[in-house]
Structure 1
Amino acid sequence: MTLTEIIESFKTKLDPSKIMNSLGKAASFNDESENDSEGNDSREDLKINPYNNSGNDSAKSSNAIRISKNGEDPLIKLTDVWKIYQMGEVEFAALKGINLEIYEGEFLVVLGPSGSGKSTLMNLLGCLDIPSKGKVCLNSKDISELDESELALIRGQMIGFIFQSFNLIPTLSTEENVLLPLEFQEEGRQIARQKAAYLLDIVGLTDKKKNLPSQLSGGQRQRVAIARSLAVNPPIILADEPTGNLDTKTGDYILGFLDGLHEREGKTIIIVTHDLDIVKYATRVVYIRDGEIEKIEKRTKNEP
């Protein structure tokens, strides 16, 4: 299936509206452990950031979803949130009365063992699911009151997803996978390709743009997933075990890149993981076990 066919098959399920904000100065990211140096000389040609002054007025559109700059209000707020699954005649509570506030510009790590409810929590934070009880508010909007097209619009414009299993479309090239979110947002083809080229240059994969996912290493596929997550310049990056399928060195590069986005771009980074080593990047850590928050710890980055 071609990229165009995939887009057309989904458009009836979405109500896309374009969004554009400045990506600004991006973190440099090159994995020297992989043979990616060839073809990256195009960095000299990318002198114009396509996220700046692209001529697109979508950021001014009344339909564009933007984050309130009132730092006193939480960006995401969960109030007495329960998620209950019906398993035959038995009910199972994956989350039990969760109360959590996440503020713009945080680097939040949700830490817990397998079965703790962290993946269920991630689905709610990413508007991929709605609570059984309680409220999840994103930018002061209760997601339970939104229909699927509105939720899709929020997911498409406000949240960049990075998954442990990468979730790349195997029949699409590296470039086409990065273009996919821009196609959903109906970005102009020329600007979309400029953005894809810019992002692939940032993650050091300019020379791999025509490769299929099967022709890439695990670290390279994760970098494609990161570039895709940044395609529409979302204010929130939500990562589920982003280093789970990577070796230690490549995982450190991935985390360093996300940390750079947080430091330089002020993006809100939320990582769901069981890996204690990721805690060093956090400004706050939420410890979750058996569907409940055990404690919330405020931290200074690189604190032991």
Structure 2
Amino acid sequence: MEAWVAITVAAAFLQNLRSALQKQMKALVSTSGATYARFVFAFPFALLYLGGLTSLGGFELPVPNLSFWGFAAIGGAAQIFATALLVSLFSFRNFAVGTAYSKTETVQTALIGIVILSDPLSPAALAGILISLVGVLILSLAKGAFDLKTFLMSWFKKTALIGVASGTFFGISAVSYRAASLSLGGEGVIIQAAFTLACVTVMQTLAMSIYLRLREPGQIMAVIRTWRIALGVGLSGMMASACWFTAMTLQNAAYVRALGQVELVFTFAASYFFFRERPNLTEVSGILLLIGGVLVLLLG
């Protein structure tokens, strides 16, 4: 098994854990507050991780350039918007299907990667991504009848538009993070990813702290009061990001995000066991197609 595959599966699991914790936080704080927890409780761990690599691992800190800061800023801002949109979905539909809408990010990431980084796609990868997309489309219709009108109208619903927008911003952030990490040069993939993660997380925390202080007074203290859940959100989020950043430094971001759709398997498990939400046969069929698409990607 290639390293990026194992790292991506770990990232998907950790991201699902973070999303589950954020759903719990959503009942206690605002959407922005739950998004903020993802960053403010993550940056200390990101700095510790980077410090451990330099002091114990013997790695040297990369020297950032203008290209790095540009891509890091774009990726960081896009991730904030994507996370906020994803958290807001939890209020509209069940945990598993709400997340499925954002998984259109795989196709969007592929297109963005081609435009920005000229990252190519193999025929097998393209086939796998398209099969997975069919799975997402089925999930989007899981609560209704299968007819053309329902299919077309479902993508104009608020949940669908928010999910697709979330996927767009996640796609932009994924490609931007890959570009930022690669711009550092060198052969140290782990330290490149860790350095990018630390810089981005600090910038995101500062930006959201200013925003909440000006636009949503009281939310910062509300997040701090939920520190037990928020600490889990921050730690799992940082670990997930470390894995995502490392995998996307090693491999095409579209491939990483396509494989990362195994998160939906973990999502449905969490939906079933923790939130007592029962998926129907259509939802299960969509998940199986998603898994099939991932297998085509890996076998190719």
TM-score by length of 2: 0.28
Q: Which has the higher helix share?
A: 2
Q: Which has the higher strand share?
A: 1
TM-score by length of 1: 0.28
